[in-house]
Amino acid sequence: MTARDGRNRPTEGNWTRRGVLAGLLGAPVLLIAACNDTKSSGTTGTGTGAGAVGGATEGASATGSASSSPKTSVARITVVPADNTVNASFVEPVKVTVASGTLTSVVLADSTGRPVAGQLAADGTGWTSTGTLTSGTKYTVAVTAVDGDKLEADANTGFTTTTPANTFVGYFTPENGSVVGVGMPVSINFNKPITDREAVQRAITVIAQPGVEIVGHWFSSTRLDFRPEDYWAAGTKVTLKLRLKDVEGAKGYYGTQSKDVRFTVGRSQTSVVDLAAKTLTVTTDGQVSASYPISGGSPEHKTWGGKMVISEQFQQTKMDSTTVGLGDEYNIPDVPHAQRLTTSGTFIHGNYWSPAAIFGSANTSHGCVGLQDAKGGEDPSTNGYKFYKSSMVGDVVEVVNSGDKTVEPSNGLNGWNMTWAAWKAGSAL
């Protein structure tokens, strides 16, 4: 559990010195941090005496006549990291020990007063932090101990944790505040290969309202996707919780992100492209809402089958065959109403350059799915325009009767082509 969880917060105020001492002698006690704004000036990593570090003070209890010298506690406190340490480790615990005495209070907190939990040794002479430290953060440690004569010694120290030199981040989709279709997974691409997949996946959670089981699947060392077993229900509110800061994803590489990302699932819309019938049938909220004649991949360039999620939308874009390994077969600078289905270049888009007669009657493309459209994409009466306007990122387009293999689940946001058992098998947890 991290410091921010605030578990085991102390009750108001520090322990009473006699009461806590009696408790320490009887059984192990969990000592945790508490908000404390005081810190003696000029402190070091060790302390002795009452109310000061490194020497005696007039505040110690005195015995004998008024002319007697006040007694000083013989308890000596050591704090690691030492006072004023910079670049202290944020992965190593803070340790407090006392010689010739017993600890009665240990307060470890960051600059905002947020406590860090810790555990007292059974004999009361040592304390070790159990909560997580944060990189690049200032901390204070306030310690009180008593010796055998119940005379107090105090230590007040501070240190700053280091900022890691090597870091990684996860680039996520969808964006915060977006509204998406029912097939939209949460997809995270890391800028460094992750070797400790379990640690990273534990630091990422996806929750939904209404609730549903959501499982992560690693497609590679740099990509982790999350989805439920079936498409999201319309109106679902989803929250991605990234808690990657200071998580060691690979040796010497630490995460930097700690944030929440929220998105909403819009209306339910899925479409089926039947390449035998050469039709596109759209179903919205359970009812068939449109049917369009289309032209798919030719026998030489078949369209992949399977469920494909719209990942990007372009009012107009350039398509060049050289970018997909097809030489100079085409170069169209103004393809209207293009919606990406795979990373490798499969789109469903408008087509103004082919004869109107091919739509619904012949598959002639290089693998994309085309609907009749107008040059410039400004004619609202065309099928390309209508389908584009009815669609959103995250909608599912399923291609059937393609005559080709099913698209690879990792090619785009297309993990829906895996069984639930296969998907769960790719989790690190």
pLDDT digits (tens, 9 = 90+) for 184-243: 999 999 999 999 999 999 999 999 999 999 999 999 999 999 999 999 999 999 999 999
Helices (H), 195-236: 197-202
* Average pLDDT along the chain: 87
Instruction: Supply the pLDDT for residue 337.
Output: 98
Question: How far is 232 from 264, CA to CA, in rounded Å?
Answer: 10
Instruction: Supply the pLDDT for residue 320.
Output: 84
Instruction: Supply the pLDDT for residue 62.
Output: 39
Give residue 338's pLDDT band: very low, low, confident or very high (50, 70, 90).
very high
**pTM of whole model > 0.95?**
no
Is pLDDT at 362 greater than 90 in this prediction? yes
Instruction: Supply the pLDDT for residue 4.
Output: 36
Question: How far is 289 from 295, CA to CA, in rounded Å?
Answer: 20
**What's the CA dihedral at 408, 411, 413, 415 to 10 degrees?**
20
Q: Is the peptide bond before 174 cis (omega within 30 degrees of 0)?
A: yes
Is pLDDT at 304 greater than 50 in this prediction? yes
Q: In the chain, what percentage of residues exceed pLDDT 90? A: 80
Instruction: Supply the pLDDT for residue 94.
Output: 98
Instruction: Supply the pLDDT for residue 43.
Output: 37
Is pLDDT at 65 greater than 70 in this prediction? no
Question: How far is 189 from 22, CA to CA, in rounded Å?
Answer: 54
Q: Mean pLDDT, to the nearest integer, of 120-144?
A: 97
Give residue 58's pLDDT band: very low, low, confident or very high (50, 70, 90).
very low
Q: Mean pLDDT, to the nearest integer, of 367-387?
A: 97
225 vs 325, more confident: 225
Question: How far is 100 from 47, CA to CA, in rounded Å?
Answer: 12
Cα Rg of the chain (Å, integer): 32
Give residue 415's pLDDT band: very low, low, confident or very high (50, 70, 90).
very high
Burial category of 178 from C-beta neighbours within 10 Å (exposed 0-12, middle 13-18, buried 19 and up): middle
Beta strands at 253-255 and 167-168: parallel, antiparallel or unpaired: parallel
Q: Mean pLDDT, to the nearest integer, of 22-42?
A: 35
420 vs 12, more confident: 420
Q: Mean pLDDT, to the nearest integer, of 369-385?
A: 97
Is pLDDT at 33 greater than 90 in this prediction? no
CA distances, 230 to each of 158, 187, 223, 286, 420 (Å): 52, 16, 21, 15, 9
Angle CA(410)–CA(416)–CA(417) in degrees, nearest 5? Answer: 70
As separate numbers, helices (DSSP H) first and strands (DSSP E) second, the chain gives 4, 29
Query: Are 418 and 209 a contacting pair, CB within 8 Å?
Result: no
Question: How far is 153 from 64, CA to CA, in rounded Å?
Answer: 21
- Give the phi and the psi of residue 389 in degrees, each rounded to 5: -65, -25
Give residue 68's pLDDT band: very low, low, confident or very high (50, 70, 90).
low
Q: Mean pLDDT, to the nearest integer, of 156-161?
A: 98
Q: In the chain, what percentage of residues exceed pLDDT 70? A: 84
Question: How far is 33 from 134, CA to CA, in rounded Å?
Answer: 15
Query: Are 406 and 304 a contacting pair, CB within 8 Å?
Result: yes
Is pLDDT at 105 greater than 70 in this prediction? yes
Q: Mean pLDDT, to the nearest integer, of 152-166?
A: 97
Is pLDDT at 87 greater than 50 in this prediction? yes
For the ranges 12-16, 177-181, 403-407, the maximum mean pLDDT occurs at 177-181
Query: Are 303 and 394 a contacting pair, CB within 8 Å?
Result: no
Is pLDDT at 346 greater than 90 in this prediction? yes
Query: Are 140 and 45 a contacting pair, CB within 8 Å?
Result: no
Q: Mean pLDDT, to the nearest integer, of 7-12?
A: 36
